[in-house]
Structure 1
């Protein structure tokens, strides 16, 4: 009888084929960052980590996890449900559709957000919740409405990071029971009614105009202060200059008198004559200015003595007399001594 037709060979061949099938069915390769939940006869048995693993075919079965993902098509989001035997432990992003939310100032806005989560306990994610991704989505939407509903519209725009932190903190406890960790929540877009957007644009324009007006006023104030300080410093400098000029003139006159007195020698009578001459000369110089400020002036009697001293000084120095002075001149009137006359 042929060996290939013998019953023993056929049995051995069948056993070999069955063994190959068992090995092929029982050999499972799990990739990095993935894990599989294995049930034996319907009960949890173990987790298959990354690498080569062996299970008993038809007895050990992987437990699938339900996941929902959204595919964006224009402005719409299409949900796609799937059952996966391999659980991904990497961080996953869920971009769920926008949700209508009413703020405390009665403005209805539509907020679109993104959620980042990570499965840290695959057994709890499979056995503690029916659909972990759907549960996370519903929790995120309800938490978003709860947090944003307690805030005004302006505050939502000003403090998005605060909204994100509050949503994440509110989702931590429920998600931990499902073996999921919420790593980050992001509020992406905030859509408002057109009338609210128009009002906000007008408000922003008015605010910019107010800031420009305040800035212009501050500039004019600073310029006025600078001008006032400049005028003040200029006045101080002019006053200092006049003071120095007066001092220098006085010093010059003092030096002139000293030189004249030194030139005359030590005769007291000559010195008195020179001093009287200088006083009379200054007095006569002031008479025209005095006449400008009134219709009548009074010349004291001592003026005749001053004029006499001036004549003596001319005789002493040999200075020729001045041309004849008209009778109605100031000098003639001064010689009258103490007489009042009209300007």
Structure 2
């Protein structure tokens, strides 16, 4: 009786275990695939289908999700590696790859690990490209190196089901001795440029100063010329005014002389001035020299046509 009970319990436990496994498998057969993700389903060990984003139900015990791929763009670091340039300088180069899965089936069955394969291919391509460049060009031709790596990875990516968007070199590190030599070269170039800039500045300063002196000299000369022109015009106007006044004075004197009794008036005026000259000489000198004949004045007046009028 006890043995029969034990057998029933064992059978019930086995059926319960089978039921539990069936329930678990049933729940596992229900898959909710997130956006930008893909699941590769195998049926009895063979590729069956690819599940896109959404709700999916699999056949329990027959279907299984073998691979899950993230379709978003991802970043993969390329570890540092030693490369030799064409001038036999050892440099250390590292970078980063930006890739995304475009064909989940090829990414699952075309290569064992597409990430590792992409890293290895990027390293080997970088070494081969840097081997064709000298040290100075490796710093200048980063775009060329990146473009070449992307080209090679794209060719392989068609088989691996991936797309390489870009490859960027993060660091190119030369040996310490080479780095010191490059720093000295850069410093020398900076000093040369500073000296050149200073000399150009001094040259421009001297040119500006000479231009200023030239302009100042021209302004002074033009001002002096204008001053002399103004003085000459002023003197000319003064001479003209004096001549005009003298002419008017002579004309008036002639009118006075030609008038009745005019000659006598002129003789008297000139005589008064003649005597005033002697008065001035007596005040300014202790000795006075007089003409030998005081009547010479009368003869001079007669010679001038100013003989005394009879009127």
**Do both share a fold (TM > 0.5)?**
yes
Query: Over aligned residue pairs, what C-alpha RMSD do you find?
Result: 3.3
Distance 2:23 2:49 in 1: 24
Distance 2:20 2:183 in 1: 77
Distance 2:186 2:107 in 1: 48
Q: Deviations over 1:204-232 (max 9, x none)?
A: 11111111111111111111111111121
Deviation at 1:182, TM superposition (A): 0.7
Give the structure 2 partner of residue 61 of structure 1: 64
Match of 2:132, SS? Answer: coil
Deviation at 1:197, TM superposition (A): 0.6
Give the structure 1 partner of residue 195 of structure 2: 213
Greater Rg by CA:
2
Q: Is 1:199 aligned to 2:181, yes or no? A: yes
Q: Deviations over 1:68-115 (max 9, x none)?
A: xxxxxxxxxxxxxxxxx3222222221121111112232211001111
- Return the match for 1:86 from 65, 68, 83: 68
Mean Cα deviation higher: 30-39 or 118-127: 30-39
Q: Deviations over 1:274-332 (max 9, x none)?
A: xxxxxxxxxxxxxxxxxxxxxxxxxxxxxxxxxxxxxxxx98xx7989x99xxxxxxxx
**Unmatched segments (≥5 aa) in structure 1:** 64-84, 271-313, 325-343
Deviation at 1:116, TM superposition (A): 1.6
Give the structure 2 partner of residue 341 of structure 1: none
- Give the TM-score normalised by the residue count of structure 1: 0.64
Deviation at 1:57, TM superposition (A): 3.0
Q: How does 1:51-200 map to 2 (within 5 A)?
A: 51-63=54-66, 85-200=67-182
Q: Is 1:37 aligned to 2:19, yes or no? A: no
Q: Which has the higher strand share?
A: 1
Is the 2:37–2:71 Cα contact (8 Å) retained in structure 1? yes
- Give the TM-score normalised by the residue count of structure 2: 0.70
**Unmatched segments (≥5 aa) in structure 2:** 1-6, 254-272, 286-311
- Return the match for 1:245 from 206, 227, 236: 227
Match of 2:167, SS? Answer: strand
Give the structure 1 partner of residue 300 of structure 2: none
Q: Which protein, 1 or 2, shows the higher relative CO under an 8 Å CA cutoff with sep ≥ 6?
A: 2
Give the structure 2 partner of residue 28 of structure 1: 31
Give the structure 1 partner of residue 299 of structure 2: none
Distance 1:54 1:250 in 2: 117
CA gap of 1:239–1:28, structure 2 versus 1, over 3 A, is: closer
**Paired residues, what number?**
251
Q: Which has the higher helix share?
A: 2
Distance 1:263 1:31 in 2: 118
